[in-house]
Amino acid sequence: MSGDTPIGALRTRLTLESPSRAADGGGGAAVTWSTVADVWAAVRATGGGEKFEFDRADGKVTHEIVLRHRGDVTPAMRLRAGVRVFDIRAAFDPDGRRRWLTCLAEERDL
């Protein structure tokens, strides 16, 4: 999808978020998410599954998300559409021309 993505395919509005860790006073850290940018993207589900973990069913769907090229996206970040959260697993320029950025992401807690 990413090499020849028409601009009209970018029809999903997503928020790119970056994590910040702050000490919680108990020896751990609390993670908060801050908005980096709002972007238009093409979102396509590529697979999914369900497993039984910690006495409950856990469903996950993998996605390919294409947006205009950005040089600041890392796998530590996430994309969000309302209550839907997409954890970025990889981000790459599919043709090396800095036109598009393809993010392989996992939607969690379905």
Share of the chain above pLDDT 70, in %: 95
- Considering only CA atoms, which of 91, 88, 90 is closest in space to residue 15? 88
Domain membership of residue 4 (yes or no) is no
- Residue 88 domain flag: yes
Tens digit of each residue's pLDDT (9 = 90 or more) over 28-57: 888 999 999 999 999 999 998 877 777 777
In this predicted structure, the answer to whether residue 110 has a pLDDT above a threshold of 70 is: no
Q: Report the pLDDT value the prediction gives residue 6, as an integer from 0 to 100.
A: 82
pTM, 2 dp: 0.84
58/20: higher pLDDT: 20
For the cut 90, the answer to whether the pLDDT of residue 93 exceeds it is: yes
The answer to whether 68 touches 100, Cβ cutoff 8 Å, is yes
Q: Is 56 exposed, middle or buried (0-12, 13-18, 19+ CB in 10 A)?
A: exposed
Q: Identify the CATH number of the domain in which residue 77 sits.
A: 2.40.10.270
Please check whether residue 1 lies inside any domain of the structure.
no
* Residue 3 belongs to a domain: no
Q: How far is CA 81 from CA 25, 26, 54, 107, in A?
A: 31, 32, 27, 11
Is residue 51 one of the residues assigned to a domain? yes
User: What is the model's pLDDT at position 1?
Assistant: 58
Which domain, by its residues, includes 90?
9-20+29-107
Q: Does 2 reside within a domain? A: no
| pLDDT reported for residue 85 | 96
Name the pLDDT band for 3 (thresholds 50, 70, 90).
low
Domain count, the chain: 1
